[in-house]
Chain A
């Protein structure tokens, strides 16, 4: 696995040249594609880079570390130690299946990839990402529950309705009308998907109305008192 990643990366550089490769990385949000190699090298030789273990493939992570230091590039996201880093290098040779409304990119790579590792997401937020940022329509695809991508999931009903309509009638206006109506359909449960903010601080977490940490909800008086300020 790791070797294939390195191989494909090297292949991509060979095909498109190093400059293009770097620019692509930059376009994808890796803003720190600056020669931080000295720092990185130091980390590497200190053994600090061995910490990022929460990545899918630790072995390839290390190799990537070597590779990136060799290529004088790095995806420095400020959380080098103890956090998984995402690296552009996976995406080489993969196809972008879709982008959701939050800007998360969904990749798929079939062929010689190990089964179960052929779909992945590249989060829009490079510095603070979390698995709960994946909206529900893409969740199924990403976790191999379904083969319909998120875009298809939201359009599936529309398509189904349109197919049925096409059989029965040929009125084009009606198609458009139906499409518009289906787009107007309220979102499920009526609220937008939100990422899970647990552990991000008290101000982000929901507190019930009697909770000590809920600001502005502590008044339980059942009467309104006379305000002496009104006195002349």
Chain B
């Protein structure tokens, strides 16, 4: 006799027994939970001896790292012994045992709140089910995760949560990726007993990025904890008590963090959703492409969700070494810029000054014709801040074969030097910043230049009370810092040991100096770097086990450009240029370009430089091409095409390769692979994807600088966090953000 048959039989008899006082239908789905007789009968039924299934693998492939072998304790999860380090919670122990506990309020990167009660498990000898996320695991603890008690507890919690949660999944943007939806399917009941009115909560205005539907909120307080702990803004909080409890800004206020978009990801329900994405698509319609971000030099790992030819949204991807699981708002919401102001046809400026769309054949013929009649030293090439390494390699090769060596990447300064790699890389690596205990920020505002690195610094400051000293114009950081001064004067004082901050550097175990790459634009940058290196030498910042001398770059192309040697022969070549090839450089000052110069603009957006161009060659944006980028710490990463190119645009390197053939100096690579093997001969590290190539030599090789330091104060490198490149400047959302958030 089957188990089910037996259960149903016993159930029949028990139903007769209980019928007089079971007027209310119990809220359980499993019949054996409903009646103790049935469950005992089922348990007593003769069943084959089941061998326990082998232990599962940890959830998400998590690995545990035992720092101290003495601190290992053993607990039992569903009967299987698991070894975990001391101090872990019951929930973490279950995860290592391969059991996924349902949870809403618990988040591994935030503090523990323990208020959703969804993670209840049964622990032997404990009278009640315990909230596993808040209970530390003790040696020999016997945890049971799928007993009737635990299941009933979850079902009960679920019913309470759904009591005041609107049943509007069909019109909710979280639908399909909602924790509450998934877990109510897995652990909830199939019916509810709630018949009264549901509560409703007034929606809050959190700005142009985050849409709120506060009635859907289940008060898990993840967003509050994220805002205070990671983003470092005290805007969100919990108001009221009991059923009147709600999340809100205490006063009517917008969320001014540059990480605010992450609350959309951590919200387990549809209370906080993306405003630009609202009602645009369903998540199951989207195709995810795992790629990287190029709006700043961090190289955050992202997933571009696209539908057909359209980028619908951008989400972060977990990478512990770079962005953990957050991304900045610029990364997340710049995608509408990819659909506006796009260059889609090759164009030639006619005699009347108007652009006319032409075919690729004609456009390339015109460019090649001009290029062949210009003296080699009058040819100049500028790569933009979004250029990938392949196209910069091709551009350099093309110009070199034409006889010119005046090619550089914008933002690397008037007279860049690529000889010493440590001078333009973040040598301690982004994750390595967590080990630092003193930070000296020289002319850099990481909050606006690289929001994810700022989040790292803030994490370190919060975790270990690291000291932060800052030299530069007055700024608002979201952690405590000491404003040491505004310019090179203070830097010299520290270098010469006359400043009070020197003792902090000397006493620190792992001091870190971060120099902003905005200083590259200064004439006296060599002297400033020399001063910073003096501080590093005096403070013992560069040691075999710790290299705390860091340069924070501003754009995604810079590191690769310097690695590939995109260094101009003469710093004033632009003033005598007759043939200027701009590859997406929009922040370069073109006022000095002679009026009779022939300007070719190759890029994907009609931004600033396009108005000076004579020929426009449309190329692919970062969401549309496969390209190599090196981030500020020297880590090579590759983008993947998520959507097709728009109009008649082509990949950057293909345009240069085609142009080289039309101008009869054929570059010897036809495929991306052969181009990369050419790149290997110049910078082999650009082929080692996802690896950091540390700088080989330290300051020991640098020569003494005789340059006089200029005492003018440092300037802010980034004026407007939301609009730093052609994509973000084309974006409407970014324009809204800068209008609404920056004025406060």
Contacts and interface: CB of A to CB of B under 8 A. Distances in A.
Q: When A and B assemble into the complex, do they touch directly, with CB atoms less than 8 Å apart?
A: yes
Interface of A: 221-232
Interface in B603-630: 605-606, 610-611, 616
Contacts of A230: 606
B646 interface: yes
Interface of B: 308-310, 338-345, 347, 349, 353-356, 605-606, 610-611, 616, 646-647
A229 B310 CA distance: 26
A228 B340 CA distance: 14
A225 B338 CA distance: 10
B308 A231 contact: no
Given A228-B354, A231-B353, A231-B611, A222 B343 contact: no
Contacts of B309: 222-223
Contacts of A232: 611
B339 A229 contact: no
Contacts of A227: 606
Contacts of A226: 341-344, 605-606, 610
B598 to A, nearest CB: 16
Contacts, number: 48
A52 to B, nearest CB: 55
Nearest to A225: B344
Contacts of B605: 226
A138 B648 CA distance: 58
B343 A225 contact: yes
A90 B270 CA distance: 67
Nearest to B341: A226
Given A229-B354, A231-B355, A231-B611, A224 B339 contact: yes
24 contacts: A221-B646, A223-B338, A223-B340, A223-B344, A223-B647, A224-B340, A224-B341, A225-B341, A225-B342, A225-B344, A225-B345, A225-B646, A225-B647, A226-B343, A226-B344, A226-B605, A227-B606, A228-B354, A228-B606, A228-B616, A230-B606, A231-B353, A231-B354, A232-B611
Given A224-B341, A228-B355, 8 more contacts: A223-B310, A223-B340, A223-B344, A224-B342, A225-B646, A226-B341, A226-B610, A231-B355
- Closest 6 pairs between A and B when the two form their complex, measured CB to CB: A226-B606, A228-B355, A223-B339, A222-B310, A225-B344, A226-B341
Contacts of A225: 341-345, 646-647
Contacts of A228: 347, 354-356, 606, 616
Nearest to B343: A226
Contacts of B349: 231
Nearest to B357: A228
B340 A222 contact: no
Q: Which residue of A226, A228, A230, A231 has the most chain B CB atoms within 10 A of its CB atom?
A: A226
Nearest to B643: A222
A189 B384 CA distance: 56
A221 B643 CA distance: 13
B342 A223 contact: yes
Contacts of A231: 349, 353-355, 610-611
A72 to B, nearest CB: 68
A177 B273 CA distance: 43
A219 to B, nearest CB: 13
B591 to A, nearest CB: 14
B344 to A, nearest CB: 5
Contacts of B347: 228
A223 B645 CA distance: 11
Q: Which residue of B343, B349, B355 has the most chain A CB atoms within 10 A of its CB atom?
A: B355
Nearest to A226: B606
Contacts of B610: 226, 231
A70 B344 CA distance: 75
B347 to A, nearest CB: 6
A167 to B, nearest CB: 32
Nearest to B345: A225
Contacts of B647: 223, 225
A222 B281 CA distance: 14
Nearest to B607: A226
Contacts of A224: 339-342
Contacts of B344: 223, 225-226
A230 B611 CA distance: 9
B258 to A, nearest CB: 26
A123 B174 CA distance: 54
Contacts of B343: 225-226
Nearest to B604: A226
B355 A222 contact: no
Nearest to A231: B611
B339 A222 contact: yes
Nearest to B612: A231
